[in-house]
A and B are shown apart, each in its own frame.
Chain A
């Protein structure tokens, strides 16, 4: 068995170069944008014209569901992306994994915030309160705090390359902790509350609600993917500008 020593020019290695990455994925950006827009158009049309405006158990505020559920899903999906990117940073030291991790954090915080915001808008008419210390809501709030902590951590570091590995460690620690937090919060809230307002075996969804929900779900997921890719490109450009400024400053000194 011989050991191969020549560097492999796989796509994986090639996109490690920021310029190559931007060139390769730049072509994806427009199709993704168009796909997202199309999904939103179809989804919103379904939501407003095909879906029933109200159901007996939820009331007239049903349409918030189509915004709320995709955001709640993204709040967890984005953390998954960040955890995978963190592995990429720590295990393969892939430079684009750093960028992906950094670009995802504010987006994750935003989607989590939207999930909480739409949830409380919904909760007011449905349960009569903006906020309930329900297990699911509480753990989403904690997740928001974790996202904001990570964003604050990114901003606190001067050297972004060194920051990436440190933050990757923290992201993975968070990823191990999130299930524990979820479990403990569930344990805590069932202890304090007689019964949760939202039941897991809640009303089964009729297809005319499920279809718009699924389309909106994909629309939001693709919205995240588009924004994430664009944010990665921006971050790469920002780093390039910073390097150029540093070089210019050095040139001015000598």
Chain B
């Protein structure tokens, strides 16, 4: 477990010291959510009704935006080649990086979500459900994102293509994520969301590792 935790610690240290990337992402999340009322009008009832969707879209976009740094920087400066030399299998390294990625991108968004909830006139119960659905759903987004980032790691202009690839795959996460908050069968949606996250987190590291090793051969 030592190398595994070392990689997580290394990623966290990089994120915390590497300038305001984390804060920028949180800012992006809040700004996207705050821009919607300007587009649809300040009608509180309407905003409260579409708030769960807005929060999920903002989180989704913010996670897509953060994808680029998952493997790309490591690929450019050669860290990825060094990591592949280690005795830890590449899939475990990818899993560690996905966890670290979730900690530095998704967790700050979840912590910032009360701000959006307030701006969008959510009531307390809806907000708690939103929090729950974000906690359950963002790991799946991070895992799918890892596949997208791995597939595009060797492409110079990969930044634009990864979101195009990942967005269709993430549709079930959005459906069940918003379903957890609003649908009549919200408990079923919550269970599906949890199952989706578990499956994605369990399988994505293998697929991503395979893609990385094929791309770098």
Interface residues of A (CB under 8 A from B): 90, 142, 145-146, 148-150, 152-153, 156-157, 162, 165-170, 172-174, 176-177, 180-181, 183-185, 187-188, 191
Q: How far is the CA of A212 from the CA of B161 in the complex (A)?
A: 42
Are the C-beta atoms of B151 and A142 separated by less than 8 Å?
no
Q: Is B5 an interface residue (CB 8 A)?
A: no
Instruction: Identify 5 residue pairs between A and B in the complex whose beta-carbon atoms are under 8 Å apart, listed by A's number.
Output: A149-B168, A156-B161, A162-B214, A169-B211, A187-B175
Q: How far is the CA of A157 from the CA of B165 in the complex (A)?
A: 14
Are the C-beta atoms of B165 and A170 separated by less than 8 Å?
yes
A-contacting residues, B170-217, CB 8 Å: 171-172, 175-176, 179, 183-185, 192, 196, 203, 207, 210-211, 214-215, 217
| Additional 20 contacts, C-beta under 8 A, given A173-B147, A180-B172, A191-B185 | A146-B169, A149-B164, A149-B165, A149-B168, A153-B161, A156-B157, A156-B161, A162-B217, A165-B217, A166-B151, A166-B154, A169-B150, A169-B207, A170-B211, A181-B168, A181-B169, A185-B172, A187-B175, A187-B192, A191-B179
Shortest C-beta distance, B207 to chain A (Å), equals 5
Shortest C-beta distance, A94 to chain B (Å), equals 15
Interface of B (DSSP majority class): helix
Q: How far is the CA of A150 from the CA of B161 in the complex (A)?
A: 10
Are the C-beta atoms of B147 and A162 separated by less than 8 Å?
no
Residues of B within 8 A of A145 (CB): 164, 167-168
Q: How far is the CA of A184 from the CA of B176 in the complex (A)?
A: 8
Are the C-beta atoms of A156 and B184 separated by less than 8 Å?
no
Shortest C-beta distance, B187 to chain A (Å), equals 13
Shortest C-beta distance, B104 to chain A (Å), equals 24
Q: Is B138 an interface residue (CB 8 A)?
A: no
Shortest C-beta distance, A189 to chain B (Å), equals 10
Residues of B within 8 A of A150 (CB): 165
Interface residues of B (CB under 8 A from A): 147, 150-152, 154-155, 157-158, 161, 164-165, 167-169, 171-172, 175-176, 179, 183-185, 192, 196, 203, 207, 210-211, 214-215, 217
Residues of A within 8 A of B151 (CB): 153, 166-167, 169-170
Residues of B within 8 A of A176 (CB): 203
Residue of chain B at shortest CB distance from A138: B171
Shortest C-beta distance, A110 to chain B (Å), equals 18
Q: How far is the CA of A176 from the CA of B217 in the complex (A)?
A: 25
Interface of A (DSSP majority class): helix
Are the C-beta atoms of A177 and B169 separated by less than 8 Å?
yes
Are the C-beta atoms of B214 and A169 separated by less than 8 Å?
yes
Shortest C-beta distance, B149 to chain A (Å), equals 12
Are the C-beta atoms of A156 and B175 separated by less than 8 Å?
no
Q: How far is the CA of A149 from the CA of B161 in the complex (A)?
A: 8
- CB within 8 A of A162: which of B171, B172, B215? B215
Q: How far is the CA of A2 from the CA of B158 in the complex (A)?
A: 48
A166 touching B184 in the complex, CB below 8 Å, given contacts A146-B168, A149-B168: no
Shortest C-beta distance, A26 to chain B (Å), equals 31
Q: How far is the CA of A170 from the CA of B152 in the complex (A)?
A: 10
Are the C-beta atoms of B169 and A174 separated by less than 8 Å?
yes
Residues of B within 8 A of A90 (CB): 210
Residues of A within 8 A of B158 (CB): 156
Residue of chain A at shortest CB distance from B151: A170
Are the C-beta atoms of B210 and A169 separated by less than 8 Å?
yes
Shortest C-beta distance, A156 to chain B (Å), equals 5
